[in-house]
Each structure stands twice: as structure tokens, then as C-alpha cells.
Amino acid sequence: MTTRGALRRTYTWIAAHTPWSAWAWRNTAFAAAAIVPTLPLVLGSALLVAAPGHTPNLLLLAVVGSPLLTGVQRSRFRSLLGLDIPPVVREHPWTTARGLAERLRSESIWRQYGYHLVAAPLVAAGAALLVLAWAAGAVAASVYAWAWMLPVDEPFGPPTGWQAQYDTITVLGALLLLAAPWAAAALTRLDAAAAAALLGPNRARELERRVEDLAESRAGVLDAADLERRRIERDLHDGAQQRLVSLAMNLGIARATLPDLPPEARAVIDEAHREAKEAIEELGNLVRGLHPAVLEDRGLDAALSGIAARAPLPVELTVDIAVRPGPTIEAVAYFVVSETLANVAKHARARRCSVAIARVTGARGDLLRIVVTDDGVGGADPAGGSGLVGLRKRVGSVDGTILINSPLGGPTVVTVELPCGL
């Protein structure tokens, strides 16, 4: 069964690559179509040699006609090969003086000239040889038919004893017909590669532009997310949290001013008052986790002082920032310190911790450097589920870097650098 399948695949492959297959004729038609767009170049070169005085006019015609010729070549690739070569995006149309000046200053127009003046003539010459090969192969392979149509006694008929020579010519013609499709395919691949590299936009420039667009889009998304967090924080603080505070106050007043209540009712009021205070505390923690108001109002120093004060171990905080970074970087720095201190309290078994934040100038420009050091047991592993994976993702969201040095036995040093350009 396997042998039969292999034979079927071999037969299918041979049938798809015969001289009369669609593959052969498509590549041949595509290659032959390359001859027509080069005719204006041949005519212009001939006029340039015959009439050197018309050189300025011919150069102006080449500048004006290049976009049209490029459009013709793109249409050839799209119609006959199904290859869509994207055009180079311009700010001004080529029919205006500003557009012409823009094109003459652009490197893409010179790459297009390279295709039209070098690659296209070479491809056209190869296409002409290919058409000649098809014609010569067809004539040579059918030499017996020509000999049959021209009797021996005719002036142009075959000479006596011609059979051996015609056998050789027939074999050579058949080999030429078998080789022509592969030559057409090779010529098509070369033409497609040259056109993709020279007629379309610069791939490196396009990738660079896309990276810049993605960076701008991501910065916009981060700013929008930070703005939304601040809005939710304000809504919770000014809405739900104030209502809970009012509820707790009313329950406290009721407990203090209604001494004659039955014990069951007083127990219900006491429980409701306790739950209201716990809800206020949980909501406060949630609000601080979203975006602490003190961070926006007073900056990192004040916001991180609150975190250090609430930490279950002594934290030495040093903040040296002459100019505040952007709100997105401030928010990331706040959450980085908050999560790192939470990891220290949960896993490190440390006695004390230090946090140093400074704005420095490094190889990547203006940076906000955060160094968190603890005297714990060390051995922090991002793969161990210690929260460091989320820390890496948060730092990476703004193109920051994080370095974790945590040998067994400690100390553990977490160094984070955030670009201040965002």
C-alpha cells in the first residue's frame, strides 16, 4: 500500500511538471511578459546613443515614467503570478513637484531604477532565450514531420542518409522541451525575488516603522489602562467607600444611642458594624491596589512611604528623584516595589529590607532604577511560583529590565530599570 501511494505521488508530480502542464505555461507566460515593459528602455537607450542632445529630455521622461513602469510591473506580478508587491507609501503624489522631489530623495526610487535598468533587462533577455528554447525544441523534436513535408527530391528537402542526424536532433529537441519549464521556473523565482527586494518598500524600514507603531500603540494602551485604573479608584473612593463609611457611622450611632435594644438586635447591629468596618478596610486595600491617590498627588516618595510603613518587617526607603517620571512609569514602579515587598514578606524570611530608587542616565537613556535588597534566605526562582513571573511581565510591559540575584543563603537583590520616556 505504501509503494502504491509513492508511485501515485510520483506520477502526480511528473504530470504536474511536464512541458504541457499549467505550471510550465504559467511560468513561461510570466517570463515572456517581462519582454514588453523593457521595450521603452531599449528604445530610450537607442535614442540616447543616436541623439545625445536629447539626454535631459530622456532623463525627465525616465523620472516621470518610472512610477508608471513600476505599476505595470506590479500588475504583471499580481495578474500572472498572484504575487502582490505593496507600493511604497508616499506623502505627496508623484504628479506634483513636491512628490517628484520626495521620490528623488528617497532610496526606494533608486531601488526601482535598479530593477528597471538592471534586473528587468536581464530577465527580459532570459525570457527571450526561453522563448527561443521553446521554439527550437519544438522544431527539433518535430524534425521528422518537417522531413516528411519536404520530399528528398526537393531543393530544401533532407539529404540522402539523414536518419542518424535527425534522430540526434529529435532527442536534443525533446531534452530542450523538458528543460524549458525548469528554466522558466528558475527565471520566475529570480524575477520575483528581485522585484520583492527592489520594487516594494524596504523591509528593514517597514519592520522598523511597524516596531515604532507598535511601541506607540502599546504606550497608548498602557496610558489608557492607567487612566482607567485612576478613574475606577476615584469612583470607588468617592462612591462605594463613602457609602460604607456612612453606613458604619450610622450603625455606630445606633449602637451608642439605643441602649434599650434587645440583646438579639444589639448583636445584629454589632455584627453589621464590624462587617462594615472590614468592608471599608478591604475596599481601601483594593483602591490602593488599583491606583493610590497619594501616588498621583504627591509622587513615589509619599506613596512608597505608606507601603514601607505597612510592611511586616523594617524597610529602609531612599527615593532620589529630582524630576518625576511619567504617570505610567510611576505606577509600574509603585506596583514593582509593592509586589517585591510582598514576596519578601511571604517567602524570604528576612529580618529587614531596603528600597533605593533613583533617576539615572544609562546606555538606554534616562532610567528609573529600583533596587530592593533583603537579608533573607535567598534562592528566589521565577519558575517557582514566587510572584516573580508577574513582576517580569509588569516590567516588560514598558520595555524595562529586571535582574534578580538571589543565591542560596541570601542576600537577594532585585534591580529594575524603567525607561523614563513613557
Contact of 140 with 120, CB cutoff 8 Å: no
d(CA 334, CA 355): 11
pLDDT at 190: 92
Q: Which CATH code for domain 299-419?
A: 3.30.565.10
Residue 47 confidence (pLDDT) above 70: no
Poorest-pLDDT segment among 58-72, 235-249, 315-329, 381-395: 58-72
Exposed, middle or buried: residue 240 (CB in 10 Å: 0-12, 13-18, 19+)?
middle
pLDDT at 64: 57
**What digits encode the pLDDT tens for the residues 242-267?**
777 777 787 777 777 777 777 777 77
pLDDT at 1: 47
With bands split at pLDDT 50, 70 and 90, how would you rate the model's confidence at 204? low
**What digits encode the pLDDT tens for the residues 172-182?**
888 888 888 89
**What digits encode the pLDDT tens for the residues 87-135?**
776 666 656 667 666 666 777 777 888 888 888 888 888 898 989 988 8
Which helix (H) or strand (E) segment is 264 a member of? helix 263-290
Residue 387 confidence (pLDDT) above 70: no
d(CA 128, CA 134): 10
In the chain, where are the structural domains located?
2-201, 205-290, 299-419
- Using CA atoms in the order 130, 132, 135, 140, what is the torsion angle rounded to 10 degrees? -110
Residues ≥6 apart with Cβ < 8 Å to 179: 133
Question: 3-class DSSP state for residue 369?
Answer: strand
Written as nine digits, the cell of 411 is 542576600
Contact of 251 with 269, CB cutoff 8 Å: yes
Contact of 415 with 333, CB cutoff 8 Å: no
